[in-house]
Amino acid sequence: MEKNDAVSFKALEKELQAALAADEKYQRENAAKLRAVEQRVPSYEEFRGIVLASHLKPLEQKDKMRGKGFVPWNCHATRERTFQDVDTEMPQEKSPFQPATSAEFYRDWRRHLRSGPERYQALLQLGGPKLGHLFQMDVGFGLLGELLVALAEHVRQSDRAAVLGILHSLANTGRFTLNLSLLSCAERESCQSLFLKLQAMGTTRPTQEELSMEKPSAGPQEEEELLQELLGLYGIHR
């Protein structure tokens, strides 16, 4: 019994450390994003570089290079995975995706949800209201594009109303217009593709199987009105 308690405590400690690290990373990258906006960086690539390098600190005079070994400038991006990293990142068992904060969402999204179908199902599971609450201040750097890609690649007729609700909630998050303007070309294309699919679904009758899976939702007219509103919010021109 004591052994089981010790293992549980160790796992809890690791989870706490991971959550603190994820929150620290989110706050650091968010601050870097604000600095980049204030500096009016000329391109998305430069903006992205500033945020990705936010963990770096300038060298002081007392810092000296010893030996002639090569030291990569971005150790977070190039260092090899150690046994300790693998042990920390590998969960003991698959737990439901139920983040309580945006930092927890960002951590679990990047660490545990690797495939497109997993990410899509996680978004449907949370739903628009929950996502809107998590990101009421701001969607993390680069995350909006990943959310749109997951929706675009796996959206189904039976999920149309739920996806529209998710898109509406995201459009009402903090600094949405800024995050939308920072989408990459590929992410913009995915966003365009998503809305084309949603429009097509409005004129396509669902199959019997899709009807059996479909959850109660707003009527067709309400969905079409919401879609037209979202087209404007996301800058999609027909």
Interval 15-45: pLDDT, tens:
777 877 777 778 777 777 777 777 776 667 6
- Does the residue 208 lie in any domain? yes
Q: Find the mean pLDDT for residues 186-191.
A: 95
- Does the residue 166 lie in any domain? yes
- Does the residue 111 lie in any domain? no
On whether both 226 and 140 belong to a single domain, the answer is: yes
> What CA–CA distance (Å, rounded) separates 183 from 142?
7
Q: Is residue 88 very low, low, confident or very high in pLDDT (cuts 50, 70, 90)?
A: very low
Instruction: Report how far Cα 88 is from the mean position of its chain's Cα atoms.
Output: 21
- Does the residue 63 lie in any domain? no
Domain end call among 20, 37, 53: 53
On whether both 40 and 128 belong to a single domain, the answer is: no
On whether both 26 and 124 belong to a single domain, the answer is: no
Domain count, the chain: 2
Q: Which of 143, 234, 233, 225 is nearest to 189 (CA)?
A: 234
On whether both 26 and 138 belong to a single domain, the answer is: no
Q: Find the mean pLDDT for residues 172-176.
A: 92
> What CA–CA distance (Å, rounded) separates 132 from 112?
21
Q: Which of 57, 53, 51 is nearest to 36 (CA)?
A: 51
The pLDDT assigned to 87 comes to: 43
Contact indicator for 131, 166 with CB cutoff of 8 Å: yes
Domain end call among 11, 37, 53: 53
> What CA–CA distance (Å, rounded) separates 199 from 217?
17
Q: What is the DSSP code (8-state) at residue 158?
A: G
Domain end call among 53, 73, 91: 53
- Does the residue 86 lie in any domain? no
Q: 194 is in which domain, residue-wise? A: 117-238
On whether both 138 and 223 belong to a single domain, the answer is: yes
Q: Find the mean pLDDT for residues 118-125.
A: 95
Contact indicator for 167, 230 with CB cutoff of 8 Å: yes
On whether both 214 and 125 belong to a single domain, the answer is: yes
Picking from 84-88, 134-138, 180-184, 223-227, which range would have the lowest pLDDT averaged per residue?
Answer: 84-88
- Does the residue 110 lie in any domain? no
Directed axis angle between helix 2-38 and helix 102-111, to 10°? 100
On whether both 27 and 127 belong to a single domain, the answer is: no
Q: What angle do CA 30, 36, 42 make, to 5 degrees?
A: 140
- Does the residue 7 lie in any domain? yes
Contact indicator for 30, 141 with CB cutoff of 8 Å: yes
On whether both 42 and 136 belong to a single domain, the answer is: no
- Does the residue 234 lie in any domain? yes
